[in-house]
Chains A and B, each alone.
Chain A
Amino acid sequence: MRLTQGTFSFLPDLTDAQISKQIDYCLSKGWAIGLEYTDDPHPRNTYWEMFGNPMFDISDPAAILMEVNACRRTFPDHYIRLTAFDSSHGTESVVMSFIVNRPKHEPGFRLVRSEQAGRTVRYSIESYATQSRPEGMRYSSDN
């Protein structure tokens, strides 16, 4: 399966040139850009690991793209997302977030049903990749 979290997951993976233009857009709005990575893409896993703090003081798009590539080199088989933060009053939250790196193989999620009284079912979702493997070992092709 293809994980479709993020602003642009239904498009073909963005090229570096396309990512640069989105970085330009974020900077032109005064947003700070951060990079986050994970190997647990559960839809409610909010806190992906931060690849450093959001880059509040970097206004050079090329420098940010360098960080994207550094993160990709460090975590080539993780999900990496580029997230933009707007600090203005009334928003003060994430305003854009899109995936810039994916594992080669995305095994998807298992829907676990637990039958309850009546016809009620309790649902939970488990990533096949996270089952019985610790963080950092989940998408590695060696084991």
Chain B
Amino acid sequence: MGHMNEPQQITDSKKRYSAGVLKYAQMGYWDGDYVPKETDILALFRITPQDGVDPIEAAAAVAGESSTATWTVVWTDRLTACDMYRAKAYRVDPVPNTPGQYFCYVAYDLSLFEERSIANVTASIIGNVFSFKPLKAARLEDMKFPVAYVKTFPGPPTGIVVERERLDKFGRPLLGATTKPKLGLSGRNYGRVVYEGLKGGLDFMKDDENINSQPFMHWRDRFLFVMDAVNKASAATGEVKGSYLNVTAGTMEEMYRRAEFAKELGSVIVMIDLVIGYTAIQSMSDWCRNNDMILHLHRAGHGTYTRQKNHGVSFRVIAKWMRMAGVDHIHAGTAVGKLEGDPMTVQGYYNICRDTYTKVDLPRGIYFDQDWGALRKVMPVASGGIHAGQMHQLIDLFGDDVVLQFGGGTIGHPQGIQAGATANRVALEAMVLARNEGRDIKNEGLDILRDAAKWCSPLKAALDTWGEISFNYQSTDTSDYVATPSVS
């Protein structure tokens, strides 16, 4: 777009700045000829203008409201280098096969932003434009950050490579499970589940997002019993083991207290929830960097704004912000499990976490090239309704650098938690071995699992129990550029 009846910026200063109301495009927030600079921050919004609102004017409004504009002309603009500070909407495309929706591209000058502050980026880009009346709905689909800005962030405190070196685990996905039931276990009972899972073959156990310090289990009790379980399992196997101790709390000071205790007890990893906020996440990231700790992020709450395609923020943007904010693990979907996510879109999130340079990839929802400037890589976590019988699909979709978390698929095993963990570990190693041998795991996966089940009775029991379970629902958040492939 950007041709017929294109609204023009008013260049005559006297007319431009006389008191009153102008269209955003007239104020200079639309420039169809603008070529983004290497140093610009770019954002792609999906907008649904109200009936009768011109898409270009709507795009200009988005640029205006997320940068310098207000609803009326203000003379104080003339005290500033306002032409530079004005964000520029520079491209508007209709969304394929979706009448009424438009992709609008906006460029922001780098000097609008504070270094190493996700709070500042988000206050600008999603600060108030999403409530703007002329739009029925808006969604932030993707962003591009110039490498100069990326380099102002320290990034993940540990990253995939160093995490593997610390854990001494290479060449295969890591295995985890969330301790269940998520609420109600006493510290002693909770540690039992952790010990069984780790001894049976898992690398990690995990606190759930809402396990903090409740009446049934105060945080110190949990930490003490869990670390006994972790160390005992490590001695039983000769492997480094860990359990994500959730330090999420009501204040920063309390989170630091909990993290310090986790460190004192020798934990290799702590965990936070996304709901603590971007600034708290960056603070915890600094703490982890100073204390040789892996930082696990549970994306609690994201579904309230990432899932619906017409309004909110895409998870791919959250993933970019979190890599910059500096987390080591992030839940990024399973494609085949119980929670939202179509396979290509989820692969797009994984690529954002793990690439050294992310290229435009429309079927996976990647709209911009992104140079990560050697920022460390984030380990994506696949968790929620997955089981050993899907091992071939998971490894085919996600490769080695992922934590596969089978909570129910470990703890609900008919022969017990250790057997459940062993089933998952055997399925995993058998599948990696077969893939490396050149076998077509996508199509031969079930045969590979059944062969391993001949000598591993826990795996046989797992396949007998869950082999047929799948969650084959239509995804909500899908690519606009290809037919959504089915996972089965």
Contacts and interface: CB of A to CB of B under 8 A. Distances in A.
Interface of A: 1, 3-5, 7-12, 14, 18, 21-22, 25, 41-44, 46, 83-84, 89-98, 108-111, 119-123, 125
Contacts of A97: 168, 170-171
Nearest to A4: B237
Interface in B180-222: 201, 220
A102 to B, nearest CB: 11
A11 B161 CA distance: 25
Contacts of B377: 90
Given A11-B426, A96-B170, A43 B238 contact: yes
A111 B429 contact: no
B interface, by DSSP: helix, strand, loop or mixed?
helix
Interface stretch (B95-103, B140-148, B223-231, B470-478): B223-231
Contacts of A92: 161
B267 to A, nearest CB: 11
Contacts of A94: 164-165, 170
Contact of B168 (A46, A109, A119): A46
Interface stretch (B303-311, B431-439, B460-468): B431-439
Nearest to B427: A10
A48 to B, nearest CB: 11
Contacts of A123: 227-228, 231, 266
Contact of A7 (B235, B432, B438, B455): B432
Contacts of A120: 224, 264-265
6 contacts: A1-B237, A3-B238, A11-B452, A44-B240, A84-B171, A94-B164
A18 B239 CA distance: 24
B484 interface: no
Interface string B414-443: 000000001001100110110011100000
A46 B455 CA distance: 32
A110 B231 CA distance: 10
B374 interface: yes
Nearest to A116: B264
A4 B224 contact: no
Contact of A109 (B171, B238, B265): B238
Given A18-B433, A90-B377, A120-B224, A7 B170 contact: yes
